[in-house]
Amino acid sequence: MVKERSSMRQSTLFLKTQREFPKDEAAVNAKLLIRGNFIHKLMAGVYTMLPLGFRVREKVIAIIRDEMDMLGAEMLMPALHPRATWDATGRWEGMQKVMYQFKDHGGRDVGLGPTHEEVIAEVAKQIISSYQDLPKAIYQIQTKFRDEERPKSGLLRGREFTMKDLYSFHADTASLEQYYERVKDAYHAVFKRMGLMAHLTEASGGDFSKYSHEFMVEADAGEDKVLLCRLCGFARNAEIAEEKKGKCTKCGEGMLENINGIEVGNIFKLGTRFSEPVGLVFKDKDGETHPVIMASYGIGVERLIGTIAETHHDDKGLMWPEAVAPFMVHLLRVGAEDDGLTKFADKVYDDLVKKGIEVLYDDRPGVSAGEKFADADLIGIPWRVVVSERTHASEKVEVKRRGENDAKLVTPSALAALVNA
């Protein structure tokens, strides 16, 4: 039953917000997420997902999965790879700088996967041999390892992180183009559902196509420089752009603006770059053999969480969009410990839970109202509901959205409809 884990009493939850921002973190997302107890840092670029962070991550993954299931099936590939798989494409040496590589006790070279083109191409050889097997697509949501140099952007750049990676296989470019457009739409839907607007941005594309496409969310913390035309929406990564500023090269009317972007997704036409060396081929109608045309499509799960934190907060703390919030309601019981008040608050909690609303119930004894309010602002759950002696006296609760100044008094029975609306 999902319901049983969907609501929680704060007194029993593995959670303790921090009084101060961590001193060794420069990134806003890391500061907020560590202080709010969503994550714990083990080392630079490596984080534990504490219960709150874990719940956000689960929601982000659920949205991604929902959209990806319309594009292909899900599976799971291993993180530990033998050298031979990577030697086939020359990337064992080519990716030495980012790939964790070591020897096992038998002296064999193995590595932790920073990406999975080689592995998927090997797997696909078992599935694809004829034009009748094409097109095909498959995705996974899996842990990647990258030896990123000095990661200092919190969840935006991890050394261990979760990626959704989708791979598609085609007999011809027409089929590839058609599928690629579907993925673009699905990506926009994913980001929109979690409160993010991502600009489809042209970026360097490799051999097969002039451009790949990055999905860039505008944010101060963005490590990428993007040229954007706000009039027509055209965007290009400044790293590769010939134009630097001036009139938009697409619509000819808007002006190109320089913005900072966080790359939350990247889609890439690979052509036969991986299929050829691995021997992933198919026979066409006439029995002729061709390498399979491939594309890959990535989304960074933790990077998305970090991006939401960067773009959804105020000076008091986080402000989660409802679709990815760890809970929908933060119920605070404040004031003197009193049986009547406790019973009333417990009932408000039980009723919301029964109606399927996810509640974090701050039932901690001996914690001041001020501390509970500050924690609620820091954690950033969309709705705050307060039960106090004052509200109890009128058999009501006080409710407000995170970010609003004024609370309303409503009856407990009106609450569920209000927060579900």
Q: Which residues in this chain contact ligand ATP in the complex, by CB under 6 A?
A: 115, 146, 148, 157-158, 161, 163, 263-266, 298-300, 302-303
Q: Which is nearer to Mg ion, 163 or 379 (CB)?
A: 163
> CB of 223: closest distance to ligand ATP in angstroms?
6
> CB of 260: closest distance to ligand ATP in angstroms?
13
Which partner from the list Mg ion, ligand ATP, none does 294 bind, CB cut-off 5 to 8 Å by kind? none
Q: Which is nearer to ligand ATP, 198 or 332 (CB)?
A: 198
> What number of chain residues touch Mg ion (CB under 5 A)?
1
End-to-end Cα separation, the chain, in angstroms: 24
Which partner from the list ligand ATP, Mg ion, none does 264 bind, CB cut-off 5 to 8 Å by kind? ligand ATP
Contact 261, 222 (CB under 8 A): yes
**Residue owning tokens 């406790």:** 342
Structure tokens at 126: 């078992």
Which partner from the list Mg ion, ligand ATP, none does 261 bind, CB cut-off 5 to 8 Å by kind? none
CB-CB neighbours of 77 under 10 Å: 16
- Alpha helix (H) residue ranges in 42-114: 51-68, 83-87, 91-94
With CA atoms as reference, report the closest residue to 265 among 173, 199, 168.
199
> CB of 141: closest distance to ligand ATP in angstroms?
12
Q: Which is nearer to ligand ATP, 115 or 142 (CB)?
A: 115
197 alpha carbon, distance to own chain's centre:
13
Q: Does 10 bind Mg ion (CB under 5 A)?
A: no
Structure tokens at 358: 């996810």
Which partner from the list Mg ion, ligand ATP, none does 92 bind, CB cut-off 5 to 8 Å by kind? none
Structure tokens at 128: 């694809």
**Helix, strand and coil percent figures for the chain, each rounded to 5:** 30, 30, 40
Phi, psi of 311 (to 5 degrees): -105, -5
Structure tokens at 193: 């559902």
Q: Which is nearer to Mg ion, 224 or 322 (CB)?
A: 224
Contact 124, 292 (CB under 8 A): yes
Residue of the chain from 168, 237, 266, 296 that contacts Mg ion (CB under 5 A): 266
Q: Which is nearer to ligand ATP, 55 or 144 (CB)?
A: 144
Which partner from the list Mg ion, ligand ATP, none does 50 bind, CB cut-off 5 to 8 Å by kind? none
> CB of 98: closest distance to ligand ATP in angstroms?
8
> CB of 129: closest distance to ligand ATP in angstroms?
29
Structure tokens at 264: 């939350």
CA distance linking residue 36 with residue 94, whole number of Å: 39
Structure tokens at 311: 């773009």
Which partner from the list ligand ATP, Mg ion, none does 7 bind, CB cut-off 5 to 8 Å by kind? none
Which partner from the list ligand ATP, Mg ion, none does 302 bind, CB cut-off 5 to 8 Å by kind? ligand ATP
Q: Which residues bind Mg ion (CB under 5 A)?
A: 266
